[in-house]
Structures are given as structure tokens and as C-alpha cells.
Amino acid sequence: MHHRHRWLAWVFLVPAMIPVAILMYYPMVGTAIESFYSTSFINPNPQFVGLELYRKLFASGEFGTIVWNSCIWTVFVVLFQNLFGFAVALLLNRELPTSGLMRSLVLLPWVLPGVVAAILWRFMYDPQLGLINSFLIRIGLASESQAWLAEPGTAMGAAIVAAIWKGFPFSTVVYLAALQNVDREQIEAATIDGAGALRRLIHVVIPSMREVIAINLVLTTMLTFNYFDMIWVLTRGGPQNATHIFPTKIYELGFGQFRFGEAATYGVFSILVLAVLLALYFLARSAGGRRSMARG
Amino acid sequence: MLKTALIAALLGLAMPTYGYAQEIVLRFWDNQQTESGLSQYQLEAVKSFEAENSDIKVEVTTVPYPEYQQRLLTAVQGGNAPDVSTIDQIWVAAFAAAGVIEPLDELAASAKISADTFFPGAWASANYDGRLWGIPFNVDVWQFSFYNEDLLNAAAIDPASLATFEGLKAAGEKLTDEAAGKYGIGLFAHKGEDTVVVMDSFIFSNGGQVLNEDGSCGLTSEASVEALAYLQSLAPYAPRGIANASSGDMRELFLNGSLAVEFWPALEQPTLQKSALNWDFVIGTAPEGKTPIGTFGGWNLVVYSDSPHKEAAWKFIQFLTREDVNGKVVDLIPANVKAADAFLRANRIGPERILEHLDNAAPRPLSPRYLEVSDIQVTLVQDVFAGMDPKEAAEKACAAVDALG
Amino acid sequence: MTGSSRLGRAGLALCQIMLALVILVPFFWMVSVSLKPGTEPFAIPARLWPDNPTLENYATAFRPEFRIYFVNSMVVSLSTVLITVSLALLAAYTFTRMQTRMILICMSLVIAAQMFPASAIIIPIYKLMRSANLLNTYASLILAYITVTLPVAIWMLRAFMARLPVELDEAAAIDGCGPLRTFFAVILPLCRPGIVATAVFVLIVTWQEFLFALSFTSTREMRTLPVGINDFIGQYGIRYGELMASSVLISLPVVAIFFLLQRQFVAGLTAGALRG
């Protein structure tokens, strides 16, 4: 059936390709071109300036901070969303009377509109009115309120926790679905061979979910890197740029200060940095793959 | 053949005289004030406008504040701007420089609308580069120091002392007891314009400037640095977490009785009226002997260059800023001075005090790049509250402002 | 597999309940705030239950506009889910079975678009929608959402289908099934959990999407639920009670839908498909 129906593949792929080309590539290329002009709201006639805006970008101390913040943010949120999500998926995979309800309840953080979740967490972190400080003081883990979001040292961590809570259900749902398709025969064979639950997990379950894990990691990386709502509402990128990441910086420049040219420049870099992150992941993966193949 | 053409031409000329009413749809965007049922009043006003002008139909779109700036910008950049809208005072210069709004000098002159009709600060904010770009719609001043009478009485503090630098600081010290969850002064420094206007008011009241007359940075002047140092000294009397606190957060603390003094414009009054608190206010803070100067804020009405209905838009603007209408369609104070007087007497406590503060208030720098200056100022005040030496922080800020060119 | 002891199962159930608590604490807070009347200030220290609980916020939240926003969200989300999942299924299937270098490259380019920062390109997209006269219509949102979710859906479904061995197809072909029949009768049922996961993903992404919805809609009548939330956020303060009540109302439908669907999800537990 394969080669005769090759054209079918293209027929099915075209509905994805055309809208993406028109609505995403075309604007993005346009924006990238804009970054070579002195594009600005207040300048109705932009001039070609080449790499001038990029030079300004590097000269400002902020750029390095934003790259660093974006990487920290993405790596930690993705890592813990996937780990926690996977653990929860395992937990919810059991047929217990509570499982049915739990599987739907676990969706709640994800379903909540991003802005509302962020407002909620901002409130919970509030130094005077928030739950988190009251709770920590009540159980004796803290002697006084912490201004989690106002201290440069704790703001990013606080934002990361909130983002993990918000997004882990996605990973849970994906991993739960993947767990359904794990080959029952292989599991039983392993059990018969005397493998315990952990052994089965590592040597049978996870390898059989390889594709799904990989795609989930890539997806959550891309989605998290560009995740705007949480940080914008929590801190607007502050205090003193401690939580400023690419999406918030781009929005602030473009819509907050009408600086479209610089927003475009950051936009182009946003893609480059993310691409590097993903490339690093793929490199690590293929290195790991080669290693396990060598082990035979 | 000629006869037919002639008849057709005559008919064509005759059409307008038959009252061939072409209804114009005027698209008006406004910032939605969720605190009151204002949209309802606006719609009523719109209906009476439509009654007075039968050939104009007004399509009102109210946009919630958090998205107003973004939506408006998107529409303007996307070539889909409305015909007339309100815009924040601080956007006027940028919109004018971008060429997206119409200068209104001639229209205003012929309609005999001039500076006297409005508060000086409001009129100033509508001018840029020697031309008039908008008509002031509503105004307010940051800030008034609203205080909790009970807390002040319990600490035996004279409210009038809050109006002086020294008095405010002393009061702050007496009123703050963190262990008991009580705070004296509601300082906030999150990334927002409210942070900037409060800081400006302290700088102005001390005689400093943000931008000097010649456009150079005024933040490093002795008076400005002094004001910043003063703010820094107040930090221990504010609730923890200044760098991420907003005026809204301070309001919540004020309402639940843990904050003694909050900084808000006059529009805070309706909220306080609804609460169970005993409150009053003083008009800002300045060093002993000086007059407090507040920071002007508010919205202006503009006509967009791409609008095909500029005359209708102008009629609508004149209507909205008329003395008898202005008061009914705003949530802040009407920019029309006479309307403001009536509005304040009818709706607010202490109208004279408010008017006095309005008269003394100064606007923020009127520059197309104001928003970038504002961002630099936020960084400045965050640095100051984080403990940086005020002079150093001011120098850093001025360097950034000068780099804007 | 079912050899777990009674104690083990009870322990797991306990774990699930603890998990629920951890996840749901912010929701308890949300509900608590939603029951607080507007004039009651927030207490220090934070209290989980208001003094005078009231349902007035829910009454306000369920205002007429809410129903409009709800319908809009429903229409846009469900349309997107149906179209996206259908197209993605077909694409993913052909992708796994007939993969060439060229196809792989194209699909990688398509998914790479997920890296583009939305706020950097929203204005050009707005201009495109405007020239197509699609502003303020369902079509603009549906089109934008399909563009954004279809690539992801294809990749997700492909990952779920990847491990289905080709032998299945061949067995079916031997049995006389054409490609379409193979697809519907053999492959599809095996992918049910994956399909549900993908559908839920698309549903939730579109249900809470904000930037496009904000930019493409102007009139009240066309706004979706997330944009409607902003009605409660003013320049000078957030109406917390009503905001939280509104959020509760927004979140529940999706959870309810998933509750019904999740039986489909785990139906695979009893399927002995590979033996057939």
C-alpha cells in the first residue's frame, strides 16, 4: 500500500502546512526583516539599519539576564512538570475507586485560564494576605512572612513552582494515555522473570514510551519557553528583571512601550535560543542512545 | 442621449436635497471602568447625542483596562483604528509623533475651546510639539493620602502631620508594628504606572524634576535625590514586599485595617465609602513649608487620522466634554473645570481640597518616548527600595534616560 | 498486575487523595474567595472560609454576557477540536506508515513554528485576518487555533501510533482490508487513549487561549471566556470575588467533559487487541 499511496501523505499534510506557512512563517519572516529597520511606532518611516538594533541589544546588560532567566525557567519547569506528571500518571493508572474522579480533577490546574491561575498564585504568595506564608508560619517552617515575588532571589523559584502546578496535568494526560498502550505481554514476561515494579518500570514501561516521552519533552519545552501569562501577572518580569523571560520582554517592548523594532529583535533571538536548547536536548538524547546501544 | 444625461445629472444633484440621509456609524472606543455602572451612563449620553444628531450613530466599544493599550495599538498598527477614542495622557505624544491622530487646533479655536475650559495640567498633556492633539476628558491626581482615622487616633497622631515629610515619617514609625500585622505607609513599587506617579509626586513636592525644561534628566538634581532618599527611609514602615506590590494590594490592606495610610487618587473614595472604615485624607506630602504637588493623570479624547468621519468625531468630542455632559460620562474627575466643580461637590468628600490639589498638580514629561522613561523610573525606585544609594541609582537612571536620545 | 495487596491499594488511594489536596488547595482558595461578598475585606492571616459566604458573585458571573462568551468559546473550541483531531489522525497515520525524508523535513518545519513567540507576530497576523475580512468572526479564531494546534496534534498522535507494529497493517491487508478500513477498524481503536489525550490538549489550549481571542475580537458578542475575564480587572483594582466565581464556572465544563471521556481513555486496559 505504501508507495502507491504516497501522494495521500501529502494530501493529509497540506492542511497543516498551508496555514502554518501563511499565518506563522510569513509574519515571522516579516518581523525578522523589521528587526533590520529602525522600526518603531513613533517613526512612520523606518530606515534600514542593519544589525544596529542587535548591537544595542547585546550592549544592554539585560539581554544576558533574559537568556539566562529563560533557560532556567524552561529547564526547571519542563523537568519537574514531566517528572511529577509521570509520577501522577503512574498513580492514576491504577484501577481504584477514586481513580475515575481523580483523573478528571487532576485537569483542573491546566484548564484554569492562565491569567486567573497567575492571579491566584500571586495572591497565595502575598506577604500579608497569602495562604503560603500563613501556612508556613503556622506549621513552624518559617518565622516570618517572605515576600516571595518581591525578592530577586526567590521570585523565579516561586514562579517556577506555580508553572509546574499549572502545566503538569498536560504531561499526566499524555503519559497516562501512553501507559495504556504498554505491551501487556512484555510486562507479564518481566514479572514472571522476577522483575519488581521498579525494574519493570525502568526496563519495560519507559522504553516502550520512548517516542511519547521525547515528543512531550520537546512540546513542553517549546510551550514553556514561550509561556507568557504566568510571569507577566506574577511579577511583570521583575523585581529588577529577575524573572524577565523572552515572551515577557517582547510584550513589554512592543505593547508596553511601543518599541516594535526591538521587540522584533528579541523575537528573532527568542527562536534562536529555544532552538539551541532543543538542539542540546537532541544531542543529549542521541548521545544517550548511542551509549545504551553500545551497552547492547 | 443628451437629454437622458441631463436628466440624470439633475436627479443626481437633487438627491441630497431630498434629505437622502446617509447614516454615519461612528466607532468610539473607551476604557471600561469596572468600578461603576458607568457604561450605562455612557450609553445614555450616547443616546442623547444621537437624538441631537440624527445622522450619526455611535457604536461604543468599552475595552477593559488591562487590554486597552494592547488592543488599541493592535488596531492602530493593523489599520483598523476606531474613529474616536480616549487615550491615556501619556500616550498622546507618541500617537502624535506616529501621525495616527489628527491635530485639533483649528477645530478647537473655532469651537472656542481653549485652555481655560480645562485644568492646566490636563490641557498641557494634550499638547505636543506646539499643536493640540486631543481634548481632555477626565483627570485625577496621584496622590491623596487616605488614612484610617481609628488607627491614627489610637496612636494619637494628628492627621494634618501626614502632609509633611517629617510628619509622615514619624507617623509611619508609630503606626508600624509588624508582629501585630500593622503597617504605617502603603509604599509600592511594582512595574506599573502607579509606582511612577507616586514617586513623581514626592519628587515634585520636594522641588525636583524628572525631565528638565531642556529635556535633560532631572533625577540627579539634589532635590530629586533627596526625595528618593526620603522614600527609601520610609521603607521600614511599609508592608514587606514593596518591589512586587501594587496600589491595589495596598488597598486590600487598607480595607482590612492593617494599613494606616494608603496613596490613591480621588477615585478611591467610592470604594472607601462602601467600606466600614472611618477615613479621611490629606492632599499629598511635601517637606515642611512647601506645598504638596501631585502628579496629573487622566484620559484625553482623540480623532484618528484614518477616520472617514472626522467631523462627526469632532461633534462627539465636543458633546462629551460639554459642561453638562462631561460629569455624567466619566469615572474619574471631569477635565472640564466647571463640570469638575459640580461633579466633586456632588460625589466626593472634600471637593475644595481635591480641586486645590488638581490646580497644583504637574503632568508627567510629555515625550513620545515617555513609556521608556517610565520604565527607567520603575527600575530606579526598585533599586532605591532594594537599598541602593539614591544618588547612585539616580545617576544610573539618568544615564539610561540620556541614552534614549 | 492485580496482585497488589489490600493494604497496597489502600495506600495508593491515600496517595491519590493527598495528591488531590495538593493540587486543589489553590482551588479551595479560589472557591473561598468566590464566596466572599464584595465588601468583606481579605482577612489576615488568610482564612480558608469567608465570614459571610454568599452566592452573589456567581449570580454576577453568570450574567448574560457570560452565556454569550460561553457559547463562543464552545463553538470555537469544539470546532477546532473536531477539525484538528480528524486532520491530525489522518496525517499522523500516513506519516507513520509512509515516511520519507521530504515529509519528515516538512513536518519538522511545521512543528518548528511552535517556537515563534506569539506577541512578536500577532500584529502581522492581525493584518492578515483584516485583509481577509475575518476579524471579529469565529472563522479567524478557528483558523488561528487550527494553525497552532494541528502540528502539535500530528506529532502527538504520531508518537502514540509509532509503536503500533506494521504487522497489524499487513495482517489487516491480508484479511482483505483496504487502507481506510485498516485505519478505522484496526488502528483507531488502539489509539483511543492517544486520541483522547490529543483532543483534550486541543480543547484545553483553545478553551483558555487569550492572545488571539483578544486581538481578533472587538465586539462583546464575539468575545470568548478568557477575554471575558478581563471584565473584572479594572485599572484600579481586581474584583476578586466575581473573578474567581467566573473562573470556577469556566473550568468546570471541561473537567466534566473529561470525566465523561476518561472511561474511553482507560478502556484499553481490557483490550486484548494484540492477540486478535
| Total domain count, chain A | 2
Residues A47 and A142 in one domain: no
CATH number of A154's domain: 1.10.3720.10
Please tell me which of the candidates C42, C219, C234 has its beta carbon nearest to residue B35. Answer: C234
Computed over its alpha carbons, how large is the radius of gyration of chain B? Answer: 24
User: Quick check: A237 and B191 CB within 8 A?
Assistant: yes
pLDDT of residue B13: 54
Q: Distance between CA atoms of A264 and A244, rounded to whole angstroms?
A: 16
Give the pLDDT band of residue C219 (cuts 50, 70, 90).
confident
Please tell me which of the candidates A104, A112, A271 has its beta carbon nearest to residue C116. Answer: A271
Return the SS3 of A139. coil
Per-residue pLDDT of chain B (405 residues; tens, 9 = 90+): 566 556 555 555 555 444 445 788 999 998 876 455 566 777 888 899 999 988 999 998 888 888 899 999 999 988 899 999 999 999 999 999 999 999 999 999 888 888 888 998 889 889 998 999 999 999 999 989 999 999 999 999 999 999 999 999 999 999 999 888 899 999 999 999 999 999 999 999 999 999 988 888 999 999 999 999 999 999 999 999 999 999 999 999 999 999 999 999 998 998 899 888 999 999 999 998 899 999 999 999 999 999 999 999 999 999 998 888 888 888 789 999 999 999 999 989 999 999 999 988 999 998 899 999 999 999 999 999 999 999 999 999 999 999 886
Interface residue B252 vs chain C (CB under 8 A): yes
B142 contact partners, CB below 8 Å, separation of at least 6 = B194, B197, B198, B200, B201, B263, B264, B265, B294, B295, B297
Whether A10 is in a domain gets the answer no
Whether A137 is in a domain gets the answer yes
pLDDT of residue B263: 95
Interface residue C225 vs chain B (CB under 8 A): no
Q: Which residues of B touch A240 (CB under 8 A)?
A: 243, 379, 382-383, 386
Q: Which residues of B touch C122 (CB under 8 A)?
A: 74
pLDDT of residue B19: 44
pLDDT of residue C275: 34
Parallel, antiparallel, or unpaired: how do β-strands B127-128 and B131-132 relate?
Answer: antiparallel
pLDDT of residue A155: 96
pTM of the model: 0.91
Residues A146 and A280 in one domain: no
Give the pLDDT band of residue C172 (cuts 50, 70, 90).
confident
User: Quick check: C120 and A263 CB within 8 A?
Assistant: yes
Q: Which amino acid is at A226?
A: N
Residues A168 and A130 in one domain: yes
**Average pLDDT for C99-115:** 87
Whether A287 is in a domain gets the answer yes
Q: Distance between CA atoms of B261 and B127, rounded to whole angstroms?
A: 35
Q: Distance between CA atoms of C233 and A223, rounded to whole angstroms?
A: 26
Residues in chain A: 296
Parallel, antiparallel, or unpaired: how do β-strands B333-334 and B127-128 relate?
Answer: unpaired
Minimum Cα–Cα distance from A132: chain C residue: C46
Interface residue B93 vs chain C (CB under 8 A): no
Whether A276 is in a domain gets the answer yes
Distance from CA of C139 to the nearest CA of A (A): 13
Task: Give the right CATH number for C61-275 from 1.10.10.10, 1.20.1260.10, 1.10.3720.10, 1.10.10.60.
Answer: 1.10.3720.10
Q: Which residues of C touch A22 (CB under 8 A)?
A: 128
Q: Distance between CA atoms of B106 and B85, rounded to whole angstroms?
A: 19
Chain B and chain C share a number of CB contacts under 8 A equal to 76
- CB B134, CB B126: distance < 8 Å: yes
| Domain coverage including residue A120 | 67-241
pLDDT of residue C272: 34
Give the three cell numbers for residue C129: 485576518
pLDDT of residue A221: 96
Q: Distance between CA atoms of A75 and A87, rounded to whole angstroms?
A: 18
pLDDT of residue A61: 82
Please tell me which of the candidates C39, C44, C238 has its beta carbon nearest to residue B274. Answer: C39
Interface residue B67 vs chain C (CB under 8 A): yes
Residues A173 and A282 in one domain: no
Computed over its alpha carbons, how large is the radius of gyration of chain C? Answer: 23
Return the minimum-mean-pLDDT range out of B158-162, B335-339, C16-20, C121-125. C16-20
Whether A1 is in a domain gets the answer no
Interface residue A26 vs chain C (CB under 8 A): yes
Give the three cell numbers for residue A185: 505481554
Residues A274 and A200 in one domain: no
3-state secondary structure chain C: CCCCCHHHHHHHHHHHHHHHHHHHHHHHHHHHHHCCCCCCCCCCCCCCCCCCCCCHHHHHHCCHHHHHHHHHHHHHHHHHHHHHHHHHHHHHHHHHHCCCHHHHHHHHHHHHHHHCCHHHHHHHHHHHHHHCCCCCCHHHHHHHHHHHHHHHHHHHHHHHHCCCCHHHHHHHHHCCCCHHHHHHHHHHHHCHHHHHHHHHHHHHHHHCCCHHHHHHCCCHHHCCHHHHHHHHECCCCECHHHHHHHHHHHHHHHHHHHHHHHHHHHHHHHCCHHHC
Whether A292 is in a domain gets the answer yes
Distance from CA of C78 to the nearest CA of A (A): 15
Residues A206 and A109 in one domain: yes
User: Quick check: C259 and A101 CB within 8 A?
Assistant: yes
Return the SS3 of B324. helix
Count other C-beta atoms under 10 Å from residue A103's C-beta: 25
Neighbours of chain C (3+ CB pairs under 8 A): A, B
Residues A41 and A129 in one domain: no
pLDDT of residue A292: 57
Residues A211 and A273 in one domain: no
Q: Which residues of chain A have pLDDT under 70?
A: 1-5, 289-296
Interface residue A124 vs chain C (CB under 8 A): yes
Distance from CA of C238 to the nearest CA of B (A): 8
Nearest alpha carbon to residue A196 among A205, A207, A183: A205
Return the SS3 of A36. coil
pLDDT of residue B349: 93
Q: Distance between CA atoms of B94 and A257, rounded to whole angstroms?
A: 10
Interface with C, mutate which of A84, A92, A123 (most C CBs under 10 A):
A123
Return the minimum-mean-pLDDT range out of B96-105, B263-272, C73-82, C156-165. C156-165
Computed over its alpha carbons, how large is the radius of gyration of chain A? Answer: 23
| Percent share of chain C, pLDDT over 90 | 27
Q: Which residues of C touch A84 (CB under 8 A)?
A: none
pLDDT of residue B8: 53
- CB B292, CB B219: distance < 8 Å: no
Q: Distance between CA atoms of B50 and B45, rounded to whole angstroms?
A: 9
Check pLDDT > 80 for residue C4: no
Residues in chain B: 405
Among A249-253, C92-96, C181-185, C192-196, name the most confident range. A249-253
Domain residue ranges of chain C, discontinuous segments joined by +:
1-54, 61-275
Q: Distance between CA atoms of A268 and B230, rounded to whole angstroms?
A: 42
Check pLDDT > 70 for residue C267: no
- CB A40, CB A260: distance < 8 Å: yes
- CB B365, CB B127: distance < 8 Å: no
Q: How far apart are the first and last CA of chain C?
A: 21
Residues A141 and A164 in one domain: yes
- CB A271, CB C116: distance < 8 Å: yes
Residues A79 and A49 in one domain: no
Q: Distance between CA atoms of C198 and C155, rounded to whole angstroms?
A: 10
Count other C-beta atoms under 10 Å from residue A96's C-beta: 18
Distance from CA of A88 to the nearest CA of C (A): 8
Q: Which residue has the cell 515629610?
A: B165
Q: DSSP character for A43?
A: B
Interface residue A60 vs chain B (CB under 8 A): no
Q: Which residues of B touch A257 (CB under 8 A)?
A: 371-372, 375
Q: Which residues of A touch B383 (CB under 8 A)?
A: 240
Distance from CA of B263 to the nearest CA of C (A): 12
Give the pLDDT band of residue C265 (cuts 50, 70, 90).
low
User: Quick check: C194 and A5 CB within 8 A?
Assistant: no
Q: Distance between CA atoms of C15 and C17, rounded to whole angstroms?
A: 5
Minimum Cα–Cα distance from A173: chain C residue: C197
Domains observed in chain B? 24-141+296-352 (3.40.190.10), 144-293+369-404 (3.40.190.10)
Residues A180 and A282 in one domain: no
Interface residue C258 vs chain A (CB under 8 A): yes
User: Quick check: C19 and A88 CB within 8 A?
Assistant: yes
Q: Distance between CA atoms of C118 and C123, rounded to whole angstroms?
A: 9
Give the pLDDT band of residue C271 (cuts 50, 70, 90).
very low
Chain C 192-231, CB below 8 Å of chain A: which residues? Answer: 193-194, 196-197, 200-201, 204, 207-208, 210-211, 225-226, 229-230
Q: What is the mean pLDDT of chain C?
A: 83
Q: Which residues of C touch B64 (CB under 8 A)?
A: 230-231, 233-234
Q: Which amino acid is at B26?
A: L
Q: Which residues of A touch C12 (CB under 8 A)?
A: 91, 94, 96
Whether A291 is in a domain gets the answer yes
Whether A13 is in a domain gets the answer no
Minimum Cα–Cα distance from B372: chain A residue: A257
